[in-house]
Structure 1
Amino acid sequence: MTHQLTRDEARRIIVRAQLLDADRPGDVVEVAEQICWIKIDPTATIAPCEDTELWSRIGWSYEPGQLKKAVEIDRLLFEFDGAFRPISLLPLMLPKMRTWPTRESTKQWLEANDAFRSDVIARLRAEGPLLTSDIPDTAQVSRAPDGWSGSNQVPIMLDFLVRQGVVAVAGRHGRHKRWDLAERVYPQNLPEYDADEAAHLLEERWLRASGLARPHWYWSGVGKTSGEAAVVEGSKNTFRVDPEAIAALEQDDGGRVAFLSPYDGMLFDRKRLEEVFEFTYVLEQFKKKADRVYGFFAHPILIGDRFVGMLDAEVDRERGELRVNAVHEFMPLEPEEDEMVRAEIAELADWLGVGLAEPR
């Protein structure tokens, strides 16, 4: 069976799956369990990505300390590959982690640095948790700097050991990771799955998080047999849709305003944004200032299930103010919509604990 969806239906499915409808979630763990992936990024014209992503869903009751507690004390979330994920995903990821790496060059580097690998594990066992800077570089073979990593081989080894499920991020000191053995960070007695079952269940979780997804191992994590097939008016793609999302289409919780961090998972699949939301999103962070249209780190504005503009705003920490440089409207907002956006900006300032700067 292939579901025939209008754009309106497709948008509602996605918005609800991403917890951006009017029915707000209650806490950090509820958000993580549903959307599966909370991006970590320090760019903070307003607030770090992980905090903005949670505030845009939970609202004023969210505090950054709640995320830290869920990760470092309650161990209900864990950090992996630049994102916080619910611990319920870990058993589904472990089978693949145990067979990593598959790339021959990575295998060769690990084999050549077997003694270095043992050194890192032994130091963590004896002294962990440790910052990266606390671990000496005893690599026998070095990888050349690639623009992301420097000459120090310790971050590379730690990253590889995390991907193998041997070490884990135990927490952070500011923005710096603290590392320990995975056996001391991850819960014990997790469910066990074989590789095929784990991969299938993981794809189903990613589909539930997306609501509606283009099947692609990287862009969505959703396979061609996940959920059910769907086509959307105006699109030539065949999507996969969560059957439970189809069943919930008759429910209408109404819409609200949401400001999305440029690294929000909702924005990750640019093609889906174009075909379903008719929204072409370009991150201007790495463009020259003269080439920017909306601003260095402008946040897309969602009202209900439509992207209506871009918020170019930043916190002036010296003055203790949220400064709104511009609200770029794709089409003129209705008076009620304009009032909703202004109210959400005021809520944002209150949440940040700063004043709202007077327009220049």
Structure 2
Amino acid sequence: MHQLTRDEARRIAVQAQLLEADRPDDVVGIAEQLGAVKIDPTATIAPAEHTILWSRIGSGYDRGQLAKTVEADRLLFEFDGAFRPVSLLPLMLPAMRRWPRRESSRQWLEANDAFRTDVLARLRAEGPLLASEIPDTAQVVRPPDGWYGPNQVVHMLDFLLRQGEVAIVGREGRHRRWDLAERVYPKDMPEYAYDEAERMLNERRLQAAGIAKQKSPWTPVGEAGEPAVIEGMHQKWRVDPEALTALENDAVGRAAFLSPYDGMLFDRPRLRELFEFDYVLEQFKPKPQRKYGYFAHPILMGDRFVGMLDAEVDTDREELRVTAVHEFLPFDEDEHDMVRAEIADLGRWLGVDVPEW
């Protein structure tokens, strides 16, 4: 049983998310460690998938690297709104083969068996294709729900993706291009039983988190890693043994701006318990109710969240307009310098000017 202070637990979490002072420089290596790089088009600064990588690499990150690793090298694949390392695919396939578990989804697939056959046949004959290039021959229609429109092809492709029968080969803008999974995913992947694959997935989730509550629904890790207790807390935690090396690292922390969809922010209860940060995304709040801004980026300083960056790229003027840097507590001179340096790096990466703010 590892006995940890809250400071030590935070350092473990920060290093596991590759946000310590020593920056990585490899897109695939980052995805391997994080497990997933979230995709989201909201681009007050840049789309989430690119901001997440910039937050780790810095201005040396080239956006073309991501497209190359996904579409040419096939070292990452897109699934469920994120880019994931291909090494995870064999661990995900056993659960994909059991999908769907919801009765309504099974009934829709059964009622549209001929439609499913049509979609697969079209991809086999003509793929890769956009969803708009595949005829909608659905016999039973799922109503629009706010995320999906009336076109049933998108529903069917997403269902077949979750079953491992089709795959996304790339994008044209924000539109996904589809093909048969057998022509996209690696051949001769290792095979795992469902329970073994789930155990290994738990290990990968804990690797990305560094430390997580044993029964967290946000970061399910099961019995992965080793047990730990954190000073002043009663919950049972699991810690990645390799992440304990963070406690031997004396590197000075740095400032990092995190996309609201960054994986570091996903486990909201852990943010509150370890970092005393009660994060609320204000994107969907009415403007009068926003405190920090429509898509403000949390500011991590070392192992503490210290503020929020409200900034937006003005494409007409080719500027990064900083509306505000909200300080939870007043910054000292060194903290101001670190934040200003990170804003300057963000401007360099975006290729825009940063006016005084």
Q: Which stretches in structure 2 are left out of the alignment for 5+ residues?
A: none
| Residue 348 (1) aligns with residue 346 (2) | yes
Q: Match of 2:300?
A: 302
Q: Deviations over 1:152-172 (max 9, x none)?
A: 111110000000000000100
Residue type of the alignment partner of 1:121: L
Measured in 1, the distance between the counterparts of 2:55 and 2:200 equals 28
Contact 1:284 1:297 in 2 (8 A): yes
Label 1:186 to 1:218 Cα distance change in 2 as closer, same or farther (>3 A): farther
Residue type of the alignment partner of 1:227: G
Residue type of the alignment partner of 1:111: E
SS across alignment from 1:356 = coil
Contact 2:127 2:179 in 1 (8 A): yes
SS across alignment from 1:148 = coil
TM-score (norm 1): 0.97
Measured in 1, the distance between the counterparts of 2:164 and 2:319 equals 43
SS across alignment from 1:249 = helix
Q: Match of 1:285?
A: 283
Residue type of the alignment partner of 1:147: G
Q: Match of 1:238?
A: 236
Q: Deviations over 1:71-109 (max 9, x none)?
A: 000000000000000000000001111111111111111
Measured in 2, the distance between the counterparts of 1:83 and 1:214 equals 23
Q: Match of 1:144?
A: 143
Q: Match of 1:31?
A: 30
Cα shift at 1:123: 0.3
Q: Match of 2:263?
A: 265
1:1-360 equivalences under 5 Å are: 2-216=1-215, 218-223=217-222, 225-359=223-357
Contact 1:234 1:275 in 2 (8 A): no
Measured in 2, the distance between the counterparts of 1:196 and 1:289 equals 47
Contact 2:11 2:246 in 1 (8 A): no
Contact 1:346 1:356 in 2 (8 A): yes
Contact 1:228 1:242 in 2 (8 A): yes
Percentage of identical aligned residues: 70
Contact 1:7 1:232 in 2 (8 A): yes
Residue type of the alignment partner of 2:249: Q
Q: Write out the 4+ residue segments of structure 1 that deviate beyond 6 Å after TM superposition.
A: none
Residue type of the alignment partner of 1:187: P
Q: Size of the alignment, in residue pairs?
A: 357
Cα shift at 1:205: 0.6
Measured in 2, the distance between the counterparts of 1:217 and 1:180 equals 35
Residue type of the alignment partner of 1:59: G
TM-score (norm 2): 0.98
Measured in 2, the distance between the counterparts of 1:43 and 1:214 equals 30
Contact 1:227 1:243 in 2 (8 A): yes
Contact 2:15 2:246 in 1 (8 A): no
Residue type of the alignment partner of 2:75: L
Residue type of the alignment partner of 1:212: I
What's the Cα RMSD here? 1.1
Measured in 2, the distance between the counterparts of 1:341 and 1:65 equals 26
Q: Which stretches in structure 1 are left out of the alignment for 5+ residues?
A: none
Cα shift at 1:252: 2.2
SS across alignment from 2:256 = strand
Cα shift at 1:23: 1.5
